[in-house]
Structure 1
Amino acid sequence: MPTSIRGEEVMTMSEVSDRLEAVARYLERTSWRAADTDDRTALWLPPQRETAEPGLQVVLPVNPSLADAAELIEKSLRVVAWAERRSLDEVRHDVATEGADRLSVRLPADAFDGQVSLATAPDLLVAVRNLVVGAAVGVETDDPLVLPPRRPQQVEAYVSRAQVSTRAGSFVVDVELPGDERTSDTLDLETGPPLARRITDRVRAVAAGATALATQIGAGDRDVTQFAQNAADTGNATELDALAQLGRGQGRAHRYQLRLAQTPLWGTTSAPPSVFTVTPAHQAVLAEAATYLRERRSRDGVTVTGLVVRLARSGAHGAGDVTVEGVDDDSGVARRYAVNLSEDDYRDAIRAHTEGFRVVVVGDLDVRGTRLSLRRVKSFDVLADPSGG
C-alpha cells in the first residue's frame, strides 16, 4: 500500500486521506476561507478578524497521493497553531476530536525538575482538581464564597470526565476539559456555552482578579476582607486555596504559570490563550484569603476528621466539651473545633483520646471570630484504626 513518510512517522494513504479531510473540516468550522484551488493544492486564508496576521495562509494538498501531502498537512497545522497562539498538540487534538479547552500549570525547574515525588504528586493533583471544582461550582450555583458540603451533581459528573496529563518543560500539568453533547458540527450555543468554556472563562477571570487584588494587598493598598466582596471576580475559598497550593513543591512556595487555552471549535466565544504568573507573595495572600472566607462563614452539615486533643466536663458523668483538631470536608486545612457531646459520645471521645484514634464528627459549623465550633452534632464516630483506615 502506498505510504507517505514524514520524519520517522509513516502513514498509509488512507491515514493521509483521513487527516486531510479532518484538517479541511477543522478549517471550515473555525471560519478559515477557501480562497483558491488548482490541480495540486488548495489555499485557505485565516478568519476575518482584527487580530488576523497579514499574509498568513494555509496550503493543503487536494490529493492525498501527492508525495509531499503529509508534509503539507503538517505545515498547515503549524500555521494554524501559530494563528491561534496555541500549541501544535492542542490543534492536533482538536482536529481529531470535537475539541477541548485546556488548563495548564507550569512549575519551574527548581520546584520539580521534570519529575515529582509520590509524596507531592497527590497534593498537586488535588489542587488542580479543586481549581476546576471551585470554578465549576462558581458558575453552576449562586457563586458562594465557600463551597457547600454537597457539590452539584452535574459538577461531579463533569469533573469525572476531565483528563490530566504531564509533559516536559520543567514540570507541566495539563487538564483537558471536554465539551458536552452540543459541541458538534451542529453546535448551538443559544442555551449558553458548554460548562468547560464557562470554567475556563471563570478561571481566567479569577486568576486575573485574585492576583491583582493580592498585589494591592501586598502593597498595603487593600486588605484581605476585599476577597469577600465578589467571588465572580476574585474567587471562592476553594479556588483561592487551589491557586495558593499549586505553587507548592519541595516544601516551599514557587513562582508558577497558569495558562488557559480555548478551542475555537465551540463558536465565537473563544479567547486567545492567557498566561498568568502566580508568585510566592501572591500565594501567601491567596492562602490567607481562603482561610478568611472559610472562617467567617458558618455553614451546615460539615464533616470534620481528626484527633481529640482536649476534653472537659464538670463531673464524672454527663455531657462534656471536647476539642477536635482535624480537617473539614471543604478546606483541607487542619484547625481546632469545639464540640459539645452527649454522655455516650463523650465516653467514646475519651477512648479515642486515650488510644490515639481518629474521630469523625458531623455538625453545623459556627464561626465566632477565630473560634470554630460544631453545633447540633448529628454523628460522632471513632475510627478504630489509628491510621484512619
Structure 2
Amino acid sequence: MNVITDAEFEEARTLDPEAVRRYLGGKGWRAERNLSGAELWERAAQDDEPGPPYEVLVPFERKRDYPGRIADILETLAVVEARRPGDILREMRLPPVDWQFLRLVPPGPAGTAPLLDLVSALTGLRELHTAAASSALTPQAVQPGQKPQAVKDHVAAVRLDQTRVGSYVVAAHTPLSPLPRPRWPSLFDDDAFSDGPGSRRPEPFARKVSRTLFAGVTCARAAAEETLERDSLTDFAPYAEAGLSANLCEALVKIAGEERRGFSFAFAWSPEVRMEQASPPVEIARRHVEVLEEGAKDLRARLGREPEAVLRGVVTRLSGQGDREAAVYGSLLREEDSRVRSVRVDLRPEDVDKATRAWRRGLEVAVTGDLEPYGTGLRMRQVVGFVVQEE
C-alpha cells in the first residue's frame, strides 16, 4: 500500500517542488533548515505517536535523483496519513484549495453508503455551499431565493475528491484564486505568512465562503445545544452575522437524510492564505438535526418573507389545470434587474379571467408576488396583485 508504483515514479519526475512544499505546509509540516541542495521538513509526532518526529528532504531542483527523492517523500507521507502514495501525488497536483470533509455514518460495511443517503447528503452539501456563499456576500437570517452570480460561480467551482478512510467521508475542495508564491513557515518565523511587516495577502472570496461555512455550521450546533439545554427553542437570528441562516439549517437537515443520521464536518485550509482561527471538527448529532429543522421554520415564519416583486409585461401563454399558470413576458420593476424576460406566474382563481382577457387582447399586466428560481428562469408565487392595464 505504501510503495510507489512505476507509473507514479515517472509521474513524480514532473512534479513541481513548490507543489510538494505547498502540500507539506498545509499538513502541518515545517521547514527546519537548508541542507545541500534540499530543504529539511519536519512533522512533530502527535500525542498518540511515540518516537521522534517524521522528516523528509525536499529537493530545490529537478536533478538526476529527483524522482527518487519525491518517491521517498510520498512513501513517508503514505505511512503518516495511511493513504496510497498515488492519492497523495494526485492531491499535490491540485491548485491551492480549502477542504471540507463530510463524514457520514451510514449503516452497513465501512466505506459504503446507501444510494439514497448519498443523494440527500450531496444535495445538502451543495445547498450548504450556496447558503454560505450567500451569507459571505450579505448575512441574512433567511437568504432570498434568487442568488447573485458570485454565489452561482462559487458553487460551480466546488469539486468532489475521492472518499477518505473513516466510515464514509465525502471530500470537497474549493479552489482559491491564483496567489503570489508563499514563503513557507519555519520555526524561526514570527509571521511566516506575511509578505512583510503589517502586510497580509488579500482574502479570496472562496476562502471567505469557507470561513463562513465553518462559522455557520459551528453556530448551528451551538444554537441547537442551547435549545436542548433550555428545553425551549432559542432565537437563531443573532447568529446570522456569523453565517447561520434558515437556508444553512435546512441544508444540514437535508444532509442528515430521512433517517436523520448524525454526521460531522472537518476543515483544512490552504496554507497560502493564513487562517488564524482554530477550526476543530463540528459534529451534528440526530438531536441537533431535529432542533435545526424547527429553528429554520421559526426563522422563515418570523423573518422569511421577501419583499414583493412587481412584474410588468404581457401574457404570452396560459397553461396548467384550469389555466392557473401564466407566462408573462416583461420586466421586473426593480433597479438592479430590469431586463426583459419570461416569468412563470402561479395565478389565483380570481386572476384567471383577467389573465385570459389580457392574453386575448394583448393588454399589459402588472403582477405583484414573491419570486424564486425556476430552472434557468424565475417563477412568481404567492401573487397578491394582478392588474390589467385597459386599452
The TM-score bracket by the shorter chain reads: 0.5 to 0.7
Q: C-alpha separation between the residues in 1 aligned to 2:108 and 2:348?
A: 40
Aligned-residue Cα RMSD (Å) equals: 4.4
**Percent of aligned pairs with the same amino acid:** 20
Task: Indicate yes or no: 2:259 matched with 1:252.
Answer: yes
The one-letter code of the counterpart of 1:134 is A
Q: Residue by residue, what CA displacement relative to the aligned partner does 1:119-158 show, whole Å, maximum 9, x if unpaired? A: 55443222111100101110112x1111112211111112
Aligned match of 1:287 in 293, 313, 324? 293
1:1-389 counterparts in 2 under 5 A? 6-11=3-8, 15-19=11-15, 21-23=17-19, 25-26=21-22, 32-33=30-31, 35-38=33-36, 42-45=39-42, 55-60=53-58, 63-65=63-65, 68-75=68-75, 77=77, 92=89, 95-110=92-107, 114-117=112-115, 119-141=116-138, 143-165=139-161, 167=163, 169-182=166-179, 192-220=202-230, 223-224=233-234, 226-233=235-242, 235-248=244-257, 251-266=258-273, 268-269=274-275, 274-297=280-303, 298-300=305-307, 341-344=350-353, 363-364=369-370, 374-377=382-385
When residues 45 and 115 of structure 1 are mapped into structure 2, their CA distance, relative to the original with a 3 A threshold, is: closer
C-alpha displacement at 1:300, in angstroms?
3.0
When residues 93 and 166 of structure 1 are mapped into structure 2, their CA distance, relative to the original with a 3 A threshold, is: closer
Question: Gaps spanning 5+ residues in structure 1: where?
Answer: 48-52, 312-336, 349-360, 366-372, 380-389
SS in 2 for 1:213: helix
C-alpha displacement at 1:263, in angstroms?
1.6
C-alpha displacement at 1:197, in angstroms?
1.5
Q: C-alpha separation between the residues in 2 aligned to 1:90 and 1:229?
A: 42
Q: C-alpha separation between the residues in 2 aligned to 1:28 and 1:120?
A: 34
Q: C-alpha separation between the residues in 2 aligned to 1:193 and 1:90?
A: 28
More strand by share: 1
The one-letter code of the counterpart of 2:353 is D
1:127·1:245 contact (CA, 8 Å) conserved in 2?
Answer: yes
When residues 166 and 28 of structure 1 are mapped into structure 2, their CA distance, relative to the original with a 3 A threshold, is: closer
Question: Gaps spanning 5+ residues in structure 2: where?
Answer: 45-50, 184-192, 310-319, 325-345, 358-366, 372-380
**Structure 1 residues 237-246 or 91-100, which shifts more?**
91-100
When residues 65 and 190 of structure 1 are mapped into structure 2, their CA distance, relative to the original with a 3 A threshold, is: closer
Q: Residue by residue, what CA displacement relative to the aligned partner does 1:78-129 show, whole Å, maximum 9, x if unpaired? A: 58869xxx99889655532322111221111317961332x55443222111
